[in-house]
Structure 1
Amino acid sequence: MKNVTDRTSNPFGLRPPFDRTAPDARTAVFGYGDANADFHLIGDHPGAHGGKRSGIPFTDTDAGLAIQDIFRDLEFVSGPTDEPRFENLFGSYIHMCCLPDGHQPTQREYDDLERFFDAELRAINAHILLPVGTAATDHILETYTTQRRRFDLETDDLHAREIRGRGFMVVPIREPDEWESGDRERLVERLEAILASDYRQTKGVATTVG
């Protein structure tokens, strides 16, 4: 079932009740891209992976642009870096609201926004979930797989690894500023292999909003 919407940013009209920004600052960086995407790229928050200026996930910051560059090479992304076009790709954050520069969301702030992220993830209903960094990977493995206890998030073993979830395939991505030699290539090779496979068979069960 396809989503019928012509909205690229915040296609489902989410309105999270959270604002800790200055009056003239952006309040949130909403999910962005193809609402019928097979690949869902999931970051931490706007201060970590960008968008406080552009309003688009994975822009503005070095980390965000490094991730965007991977998907540009694989032809998921085209157009200007600060206003990219996503094809078969949706990008969003587990904590979409903006915070003052230098602030990290507290656990309570993550929890306050979790239901909005979950509703969007289930509405997109992608086949492949791509969490970036420790916070996003921890949340995705804990919430959408039964395998969180098997993994140590402090190692690089999860980077570009395929993990079966509850109706999703999860491929964690290490924080770009922690990449070592070969990490970028490993991720590109993994994504190329998935694209060459019948990856749509990875969905074992249907998921719905609710």
Structure 2
Amino acid sequence: MDAHQQGTKNPYGMDEDCRNCPGLCDVRERVVHGYGDVGADFVFVGEAPSLGAEETGVPFTGDEAGERFQHILGSVGLNYSLPDSDEPELDNAYLTYLTRCRHPDRAPTDEEVVTCEPYLNADVRMINPEILVPVGQRALTELGEEYTTTPADDLDVDDLHASTVRGRGFELAPMVHPAGQTDEQTEAYVEFFLDLLDTDYRQTKGRRGR
């Protein structure tokens, strides 16, 4: 974990009473900002909080999909807690979303993703990771459009799961959302990520030392 970090939950003190999306403010339970190591090489980005994450206030926790996700992180040395922990002990990993509020009946609208984009941009800019991990198709589409020159129609998370996509400033390492992963896909991602850690994945970007 970054030596200068004060905490893991919303470490940048982003607005927890954000009122920028009228269609979400009155139906959400809370805003779920980023969580983890602000010195991380790896930033994992999902679409929006699940019910479990909304209850815990921590991305990718609080349900079976979260446990599968945290199991993956633990299997590659990024999580030192049990998979069912509501506040996992992460190292070299930061978790966040395209949008920070959950609507109980629908996915985020395009307008809501755009409205929330400054929060994600701030996370990425301040952390300056080496690898962005889009978790699920929506995250891959949005991050692919922002950080790669690959046409959106060619970015299929099922095809690109457990592989890398070269981007502008970052590599993307897409992951099928844990809620829809098979055991074989989970095992494939763990094997892929362990191999990735064995490579010289760090770019020359003037990063601070860990």
Moved over 4 A (4+): none
CA shift, 1:18, in A, is 3.5
Residue 138 (structure 2) aligned to one of 135, 139, 147? 135
Q: In structure 2, what is the equivalent of residue 182 of structure 1?
A: 184
Where in structure 2 are the equivalents of 1:26-105 lying within 5 Å? 26-47=29-50, 50-80=52-82, 81-99=85-103, 101-105=104-108
SS in 1 for 2:50: helix
Q: In structure 2, what is the equivalent of residue 10 of structure 1?
A: 10
CA shift, 1:206, in A, is 6.3
- RMSD of Structure 2 on Structure 1 (CA): 2.3
Aligned pair count reads: 200
Distance 1:58 1:149 in 2: 25
Q: Deviations over 1:76-108 (max 9, x none)?
A: 112252121110100000101232x23211111
Distance 2:179 2:54 in 1: 19
CA shift, 1:146, in A, is 1.3
Compute the TM-score of the two structures, normalised by the length of structure 1: 0.85
Residue 171 (structure 1) aligned to one of 136, 161, 173? 173
- The answer (yes or no) to whether the contact 2:9–2:35 under 8 Å persists in 1 is yes
SS in 1 for 2:118: helix
- The answer (yes or no) to whether the contact 2:144–2:155 under 8 Å persists in 1 is no
SS in 1 for 2:159: coil
Distance 2:125 2:12 in 1: 11
Q: Which runs of 5+ in 2 are unaligned?
A: none
CA shift, 1:64, in A, is 2.1
SS in 2 for 1:35: coil
SS in 2 for 1:51: helix
Residue 120 (structure 1) aligned to one of 120, 123, 137? 123
